[in-house]
Amino acid sequence: DRSLSLKAAGGVVAIEETNAVEVEIDAALVASVLFGALSPSAAAAIDGARGAASALANADALLGLPRFSAIDRF
């Protein structure tokens, strides 16, 4: 029920409550996006996020993490 603004510049990230959002991500997918399992644009492709294509591309760049791969043998 809250909208948060995430801004990054010069290696510093600021998070504030806001009324204006460019990308909206469903609560059920926020953890998947923040921990790198799903990009914001991939979330939008499955109707779990909404935003203009340019805003989703910016969110992908800001929140993108490399794909996880284990370096230990199992």
- At 41-53, the pLDDT tens digits run 999 999 999 999 9
Whether the pLDDT of residue 67 is over 80: the answer is no
CA dihedral of 22, 25, 30, 34, whole degrees rounded to 10: -40
User: Is the alpha carbon torsion for 19, 23, 28, 32 positive or negative?
Assistant: negative
Q: What is the mean pLDDT of residues 15-33?
A: 90
Question: What is the reported pTM?
Answer: 0.72
| pLDDT tens digits for range 31-44 | 999 888 899 999 99
Burial class (CB in 10 A: 0-12, 13-18, 19+), 57: middle
Q: For residues 24 and 49, is the Cβ–Cβ distance under 8 A?
A: yes
